[in-house]
Amino acid sequence: MPSFDIVSKVQMNEVDNALHQAQKEIGQRFDFKDTGTELEKTAEGIVVRADSEGRVEAAIEVLKGKLVKRNVPLKNLEQGELSPGPKGSTKVLLKIIEGISVEKAREIVKHVKETKLKVQASIQDDQVRVTGKARDDLQSAIRALRAHDFGVELQYINFRE
């Protein structure tokens, strides 16, 4: 029975490359000089620190630009709240979201059912598997899913006959 999987993955090596490029640009730009602006990757995500909120926002924009150039979807980036740091500085945490949450997976399954195609969708951990008898129905399901925005970047993998 033909099937495919719907996943939401981020290439972490591309995130690392974009982070290094952004760090290099921030270190060289005149408007970031002596502002204490830095980008740091932690287990939770990417921490952006600077001496003012404006510098933090500017550093985030630099990072987002580098991520876009490396084809990393910004939908998988979740910005936290600005919080005060030591010595009057400001910091923010950018979380990198991988996998499909249960709520989003239910929304995807519901959308697949609403298409009235002869396919079934099931939630498996952090991905959704869609099965059907005809390859054309699966391709129609992919087209319907691509036309709808679920708030996360989706990839369609493991297309099997």
User: What are the pLDDT digits (tens) for 8-63?
Assistant: 888 889 999 999 999 999 888 888 888 888 888 988 899 988 888 888 899 999 99
- For residues 64 and 138, membership in a common domain is answered with no
Q: How far from 134 is each of 7, 140, 148, 156, CA to CA, in Å?
A: 21, 10, 22, 17
- For residues 84 and 109, membership in a common domain is answered with no
Q: What b/e readout covers 87-107, taking b as 16+ CB neighbours within 10 angstroms?
A: eebbbbbbebbebbeeebbeb
Q: Residue 51 belongs to a domain with what CATH number? A: 3.30.70.990
Q: 83-130: per-residue pLDDT in tens?
A: 887 777 888 999 998 888 888 889 999 998 888 889 888 898 888 899
Residue 64 banded pLDDT, cuts 50, 70, 90: very high
Residue 69 banded pLDDT, cuts 50, 70, 90: very high
Helix (H, G, I), strand (E, B) or coil at 4: strand
Run of H or E including 65: helix 53-69
Instruction: Please tell me the predicted confidence (pLDDT) of residue 33.
Output: 84
The tokens for 112 are 């697949």
- For residues 90 and 31, membership in a common domain is answered with yes
Q: Determine the structural domain holding residue 148 and report its residue range.
A: 3-8+100-160
- For residues 90 and 109, membership in a common domain is answered with no
Run of H or E including 67: helix 53-69
